[in-house]
Amino acid sequence: MTWLLIGTGFSGALTFLFLLKKISHIFVTPKAISVHFSPAGGCSDALVNEINKARHEILIQAYSFTSKQISQALVEAKKRRIKLDIILDGSNEREQYTELHFLMENGIHPVIDCHHPIAHNKIMIFDSKTIATGSFNFTHQAEQNNAENLLILKGHPELVALYKKNFAIHKEHSRVAQVNPEGNPGQARHNMFGHNNQNHKSQAA
């Protein structure tokens, strides 16, 4: 009888620890690191996967942004009522294939970091839990042709705090995006160059 009680107590303790671990994962993101490389290394797919998993907020800093796949995922995230906060380099107001116009047409309004000669950050922060960063620009060219890297970090709250602080600094000196309708005829251009044409290859780096 004594051994039965001891055995039951031990198994009960193991069950308690198992349940405690499961509950802790709800509130604390386990540490994890994944690395992706291009060309054709799945960087865009990895970012879209994180966008699709987001539940509350996505913060983005981008230099060149011409990826139809990523911009479409962000539009879908907005439909799920995810808060989107996007800071872009000023070149996106001039690039022929920029996704800035498509985002704005779908109710997403990035700001422009014109405080620096080049706003070269490539960062996404998901739900204050996951950071994606590296050399990888959010472009078709970076996915298919360039030699790039993408690092996705989970469970590092101290790094998230630093990245969010830096994001806030850059947002503070950013301004509202200004687009030229004559130079970028909006939806018609996007229909021609990608969102309704799976064979299109962006010329942007």
Strand, helix or coil at 112? strand
Q: What is the pLDDT of residues 37-66, one digit of tens each?
A: 999 999 999 999 999 999 999 999 999 999
Contacts 24+ apart (CB under 8 A), 142-147: 142/38, 142/43, 142/64, 142/67, 142/205, 143/38, 143/39, 143/40, 143/43, 143/44, 143/67, 144/38, 144/39, 144/40, 144/201, 145/38, 145/39, 146/38, 146/39, 146/205, 147/37, 147/38, 147/39
CA angle, residues 25, 134, 81, in degrees to nearest 5: 55
pLDDT for the residue 16: 56
Catalytic residues: 120, 122, 127
Q: What is the pLDDT of residues 144-165, one digit of tens each?
A: 999 999 999 999 999 999 999 9
Contact 105, 168 (CB under 8 A): no
pLDDT for the residue 23: 58
pLDDT for the residue 27: 61
pLDDT for the residue 32: 96
Tens of pLDDT along the chain (205 residues) come to 555 445 556 566 556 566 656 555 556 789 999 999 999 999 999 999 999 999 999 999 999 999 999 999 999 999 999 999 999 999 999 999 999 999 999 999 999 999 999 999 999 999 999 999 999 999 999 999 999 999 999 999 999 999 999 999 999 999 999 887 554 544 444 443 456 544 444 444 5
Backbone angles phi, psi at 178, to 5 degrees: -120, 115
Tokens of 30: 């386990």
Contact 62, 89 (CB under 8 A): yes
Parallel, antiparallel, or unpaired for β 130-134 and 148-154? Answer: antiparallel
Helix (H) or strand (E) holding 173: none
